[in-house]
Amino acid sequence: MIQRPRGTRDLLPPEVRLWQAVEGVARDVFSAFGADEIRTPVFEATELFVRSVGETTDIVHKEMYTFPDRKGRSLTLRPEGTAGVARAWIENGLSDRTHPLRLYYLGPMFRYERAQHGRYRQFSQIGLEVIGADTPLADAEVLAAMHEFFLRLGFDDLVIHLNNLGDPEDRVRYQEALRTALAPRRSELCSDCQRRLDENPLRILDCKVPSCQAVAAKAPAMDDVAGEASRQHVLQVEEQLARLGIPFVRNPRLVRGLDYYLRTVFEVISPKLGENTVLCGGGRYDRLIADLGGPAIPGVGFAIGEDRLIKVLPAAFREAVLAKSRLYLVPLGAAAQGQVLELARSWVREGVPVEVEVSGRSLKAALKRADREGFRAVAMLGEDELRAGSVSVRELTAGSQISVPVAALPGWWHKLIAGPVGKH
């Protein structure tokens, strides 16, 4: 039997409904904040990610799916979304658009990581980017949109970690400060972090190995060497969040795993998954587009790990989505079978989700299935109903049965689902 590749999975009903619902909330919230959707290719020139993400990052160093095409050109399945958005902005001449330009995306990403529970080699991200504004207000708007998205899903316990990564000029001084502080404890670092100490010591702060985290905890913070401009920028972001009542904590060790970030960086942590599991991360990347050959234009954004998000969705949101709010239409007899699809189509056109019993189940078997799978109601169409121009409807949460005229069924249904949902 051919099996799916390691580190991938099949998303099956009814779980897929959770993904659709989450993505629907993202579209609603981000569009309400003025964003439009952008769709970029799932593979790009390898150079795009090497130049943007950073050659010394773990993503480029050991996680990218890179391959030559038939003409020998090096291509890579996208490991993250921001670089592709930046490339699309340059290539399609989006500088002609009114700025700031707000763009959001949804889709699969790929990283060759160690396959483990909750971590996949094909995973999905939901991202929002604001291009063309370098103010703290833009950072705060991005965080406000992110916070509103999580609120709409019912979260009330997520923690926003925020830090100042300084400007690129500050980073040179910070790297030297880290090397000086960490070099005497080199032997306590993992093999990857010993390499990072030489190549890019900031990556040590992002390591999840406990011994490395213990060493990094005593390292200097970026604020110790950052310039006044970057410090004031992040302080003003924090002031905006305080005005909005959005809770956050300053995390001086937060660096993120991508080299293009500067000044404001942030992550969202779920207490249910632990401190080392990030649901969402982002920050400011004012020099990314210029580094890729475009003009000097600022940007700020974030990406949400949808796979992890689905795992910790609040129970109320999950239950509401998975409740089978459909009408189960059961034809009884040959005459009803001849008309049932026409009737179902007319109701569908009036906004009623209808599932027709097409396999020939008996009424008893159909009712058992309806109760087992959580339908809201069962509509029964037999000879008596055909003569009366009605259907017999059993509302499963209440256990009651009434006769409803065919033409009145859509109104009855919309009134039903507008009320409280019972056990189904």
Sign of CA dihedral 17, 23, 24, 26: positive
Question: pLDDT by residue for the chain (424 residues), tens digit each?
Answer: 999 999 999 999 989 999 999 999 999 999 999 999 999 999 999 999 999 887 767 788 779 999 999 999 999 999 999 999 999 999 999 999 999 999 999 999 999 987 666 679 999 999 999 999 999 999 999 999 999 999 999 998 888 999 999 998 888 888 888 888 888 888 888 988 888 888 888 878 878 788 888 888 888 888 788 889 999 999 999 999 999 999 999 998 888 767 789 999 999 998 877 766 789 999 999 999 999 999 999 999 999 999 999 999 999 999 889 876 889 999 999 999 999 999 999 999 999 999 999 999 999 999 999 988 888 899 999 999 999 999 999 998 888 899 999 999 999 999 988 765 443 3
Length of the chain equals: 424
Least Cα distance to 120 among 110, 129, 130 occurs for 110
In 183-296, which residue ranges form alpha helices assigned H by DSSP?
Answer: 191-199, 210-216, 228-244, 288-291
Q: What is the pLDDT at residue 191?
A: 87
Domain ranges of the chain: 15-167+226-316, 324-418
If you ran DSSP here, which 8-state letter would residue 112 be given? -
Token pair recorded at residue 278: 């990030």
Distance CA(355)–CA(357), nearest Å, equals: 7
Distance CA(378)–CA(395), nearest Å, equals: 7
For residue 189, give every residue at least 6 positions away whose Cβ sits within 8 Å of its Cβ, in sequence order, or none.
182, 197, 204, 211, 212, 215
Q: What is the pLDDT at residue 176?
A: 86
Q: What is the pLDDT at residue 253?
A: 82
Distance CA(341)–CA(338), nearest Å, equals: 8
Q: Cis (ω within 30 of 0) for the bond into 14?
A: yes
Q: What is the pLDDT at residue 54?
A: 78
Q: Specify the pTM.
A: 0.87
Q: What is the pLDDT at residue 198?
A: 85
| Digit-coded pLDDT (tens) for 18-67 | 999 999 999 999 999 999 999 999 999 999 999 988 776 778 877 999 99
Q: Which CATH superfamily is domain 15-167+226-316 in?
A: Bira Bifunctional Protein; Domain 2 (3.30.930.10)
| Digit-coded pLDDT (tens) for 102-111 | 999 999 999 9
**Contacts of the segment 58-64: beta carbons below 8 A, 24+ positions apart:** 58/192, 58/203, 58/257, 59/111, 59/257, 59/258, 62/112, 63/111, 63/112, 63/113, 64/110, 64/111, 64/112
Q: No. of H helices and E strands in the chain?
A: 16, 16
Residue type, position 418, single letter: A
Q: Which CATH superfamily is domain 324-418 in?
A: Anticodon-binding domain (3.40.50.800)
